[in-house]
Chains A and B, each alone.
Chain A
Amino acid sequence: MLLIEDLQFGYSSQPALNMHFDLRVEDGEVLSLIGPSGSGKSTLLSLIAGFLSASSGRIILDNNDLQALPVAERPVSIVFQQHNLFPHLDLYTNVALGIDPSLRLLPGQIDAVRDALARLGLENMQRRKPGELSGGQRQRVALARALVRRRKILLLDEAFAALGPAMRAELLELVKTLVGEHDMTALLISHQPSDALIASTRTAFICEGRVSMLAPTDELLAAAAPPELRDYLGSQ
């Protein structure tokens, strides 16, 4: 279980916006985060990944506070909307970097890379470069790398935003399956309410640096309040 407790952060460029998060995500759960631009969704993921340091609060996974850990030692994998892959490296190498950046892999680890690519439907593309792939295939490679890393937390920062609806739905289903299979905990940022409906039982609405509402996805999307949520969803 991932527990975010009293986690505070402020950008020096926006002193008025003091972010303050409290959140609980269960094992095997994909929690969707929705909310307006600039509300703090990506900041929350950056705090969990360690790219940003919170001014106070705790990020607890299985009773261990992650705050003191450097980025590389956190049990976290992240998939961004773009620039997940190094364009000059082939798919195999991009995934293998997830195990060891020196690329000195043991035979078992080489098999793990191949298995992950096969699991994501990329078994015949190991030597291709990212530029030869479609957007959906590239995100599959990033997911394959997250799989071989065997980290407990998976962060998806608008990872599928650039894809068409059918491809998005397919990858969201895949994420749900992978999170279940590997007993991970995932946080998914998306601007599409339909994504939350596909991927998540529960969804959090983030507004002005806070978790404004956390509820079952269908309930949250149909809720009459808070007004910021209605404004965000564009419904009356």
Chain B
Amino acid sequence: MIVSRAIPAGLVLALLALLVLAPMAGLLHLSALPGYEPADLRIWESAYLRRVLYFSIWQALLSTLLSVLPAILVARAFAMQPDLPLRRLLLGLFALPLVVPGVVVVMAVVSVYGSDGWLPLGRSLYGINGILLAHVFFNLPLAVRLLLPLWKMIPQHHWQLGEQLGMNAWQRFRFIEWPMLRETLPGVLLLVFMLCLTSFAVVLTLGGGPRSTTIEVAIYQSLRFDFDPARAVMLALLQLGLCMLVAMLTLKFQRMPEVEIATSAPYRSRRTTLSYVVNLVLIMAATLYVGLPLLSLLIDALQGPVIKMATSAQLWQAFANTLFIGISAALLSVVAGWFLLQYSASLARQGRATGARLVDLAGSIVYVIPPLVIATGMFVLLSPHVDVFDWVYPIVIAINALMGLPFVVRCLGPSIRQSHARYHRLCLSLDLQGWNRFRFIDWPLLRRPLGLAIALVAVLAMGDLGVIALFGSTQTATLPLMIYQQLGAYLISQATVTALLLLLLCLAVFALLERGIGGKADVVN
């Protein structure tokens, strides 16, 4: 049995190695060629590279602090108000930024804070201010969603003891909440830092000038505008090194809550009116911060040239391209992830825990390698032999599938392992194998995380701007690339309509895939 699982998993691992290592080897090889040695290659002697490195870290640090610190207060406010009206709806709104593409967020931020927006910041929007606004829009809700379950993990008896011992709000935080928060916070901080460090669409569109360029964007600019592959290689290696460092720190500190956790019932103590009002204000402020840009985008888009654009063949071509890339990447990623996880679960069941962990790690390792680094490597590797612009779809689909793999591992892994641990012997004793086992055991138990994994990878791939911006052209553009091109041509109203279309597409695809595959009912595993 384990051999039959090892063959497809081995193929996936080989393909993974090829997709990750070959571009890296290409980059390393190129950096050693004598023809490619621009003056600013030595990083510490180049003011440009030093500035890019400094700005990358600085914006990521600020974005992280501005996202996570308020998120602690907002998550706590949600946790303390389990009976708040519309709580589910508000938390649903906080899940939205997870599926909204970066370029749509940019449009939404411009819609509120741009010159014609409700809260105009004028020119100062472009640069660090705009980048921070957009990153906080993404990451504050993410941090709230990651931190909120922690309060459910606090035993109800601890709250009761705190109340009986007469603890005030500060003492409750110090003795009951902070110890639990302290263990998870470094992981959340590092995750958000990593996301901001590798953010591409936001920095490209709201920053990108000489004073506000990150490594990720500088790689793109080196290849697309300056035609300086050696500098791109240097930047890619620098970005890789930084990401590896953050990933190692994350591994050291990370203690993220599992997708499904044992939760205690929310404790309803008699809280004061003041604390209720403070919690309400925090929740309302965060809701406005997240909701306002989306609402503004919707209004602006509906006032834009909707009819004219609805008849644009180019728009619908981009729509079809986006959908095709998203669905293909999701299917590829989930199939690859399925084989890997089945194999790792078999290994774990047989007591080969290290082997299982290594297989899981192989699926997640691409998380530390920015997609633009792989794309750059592939560009460098393939461009001498083929016209890479003719291979745009396979390349973009493959890289996005690869980037989706860590999400598949995270969503599906725990359920597959649990299914193996609990039911494998029973299945063996009942001779439930192959299709029958999948139909009666695996599918009902796994369809929910499977639906979530496919939906997540699909919207991530549909919203990708980094890889498609490197390989795409007007003919092969996706909606995100089209928005970027429209912004570049100052066609703001058209870009807003395109952004709304992309947003609606992502939401529809996410809902259809998650519900369609995952089903509505919870299966108790």
Are A and B physically bound partners?
yes
A204 CB–B CB distance under 8 Å: no
Q: Find out whether the CB atom of B163 lies under 8 angstroms from the CB atom of A86.
A: no
Whether B171 lies near A49 (C-beta < 8 A) is: no
Partner of A83, one of B155, B168, B171, B175: B155
| C-alpha spacing A67/B168, complex, angstroms | 21
* A-B CB contacts (within 8 Å), total count: 54
Q: Is the pair B158, A71 in contact by a Cβ cutoff of 8 Å?
A: no
Indicate if B308 sits at the interface (CB-CB under 8 A).
no
| Residues of chain B lying within 8 A (CB to CB) of residue A89 | 175
Contact of A86 with B167 in the complex, beta carbons under 8 Å:
no
Q: What A residues does B158 contact at CB under 8 A?
A: 83, 86
Contacting B at CB under 8 A, from A32-91, are: 49-51, 70-74, 76-78, 80, 82-84, 86-89
- Asked whether, in the complex, the Cβ of A86 is within 8 Å of the Cβ of B179, the reply is yes
B38 to chain A, nearest CB (A): 53
Q: Are A78 and B164 in contact (CB under 8 A)?
A: yes
Q: What is the interface residue range for chain B against chain A?
A: 10 to 19
A1 at the interface (CB under 8 A from B): no
A114–B216 alpha-carbon span in the complex (Å): 59
Within 8 Å of chain B (Cβ to Cβ): is A25? Answer: no
The reply on A97 being an interface residue by CB < 8 A is: yes
Distance, CA A77 to CA B176, complexed state (A): 18
- For A124, the chain B residues whose CB sits under 8 A away are none
What is the interface size of chain A, counting residues whose CB is below 8 A from a CB of the partner? 24
Given A82-B157, A83-B155, A89-B175, residue A101 in contact with residue B167 (CB < 8 A): yes
Per-residue 0/1 for B245-289: is the Cβ within 8 Å of any A Cβ (1 yes, 0 no)? 000000000000000000000000110000000000000000000
Whether A236 sits at the interface, judged by CB under 8 Å, is: no
Bitwise interface map of B from 156 to 186 toward A, beta carbon under 8 Å scored 1, else 0? 1110111111111001000110010000000
What separation, in Å, do the CA atoms of A51 and B156 have in the docked complex?
11
Residues in A neighbouring B176, C-beta threshold 8 A:
86
Interface residues of A in 88-146 (CB under 8 A from B): 88-89, 97-98, 101-102
Q: Are B165 and A101 in contact (CB under 8 A)?
A: yes
C-alpha gap A228/B167 in the complex (Å): 41
Measured in the bound complex, the distance between the Cα atoms of B360 and A75 in whole Å is 54
Which of A72, A80, A87 sits near B165, CB closer than 8 Å?
A72
User: In the complex the two chains form, what is the Cα distance from A75 to B5 in whole Å?
Assistant: 63
How far, in whole Å, are A149 and B165 apart by their CA atoms in the complex?
Answer: 9
Enumerate chain A residues within 8 angstroms of B164, measured Cβ to Cβ: 49-50, 71-72, 74, 76-78
B155, B157, B163, B175: the one contacting A71 at CB < 8 Å is B163
Q: Kindly list chain B residues whose C-beta atoms are within 8 Å of the C-beta of A49.
A: 160, 164
Of chain A, the residue at the smallest CB distance from B179 is: A88
The smallest C-beta distance from A11 to any residue of chain B, in angstroms, reads 12
* Residue pair A101, B179 in contact (C-beta under 8 Å): no
Task: Determine how close the nearest CB of chain B comes to the CB of A98; give it in whole angstroms.
Answer: 6
Chain B residues contacting A88 (CB-CB under 8 Å) are: 179
> A78-B164, A101-B165 in contact; A84/B171 too (CB < 8 A)?
no
17 A-B pairs besides A84-B157, A87-B179 with CB distance below 8 A are A50-B163, A71-B163, A72-B163, A72-B166, A72-B167, A73-B166, A77-B164, A83-B155, A83-B157, A86-B158, A86-B175, A97-B165, A97-B175, A101-B162, A101-B165, A101-B171, A101-B175
Interchain residue pairs A-B with the least CB separation, the first 8 = A72-B166, A83-B155, A83-B157, A88-B179, A101-B171, A101-B167, A71-B163, A80-B157
Q: Which residues of B are interface residues toward A (Cβ below 8 A)?
A: 155-158, 160-168, 171, 175-176, 179, 269-270
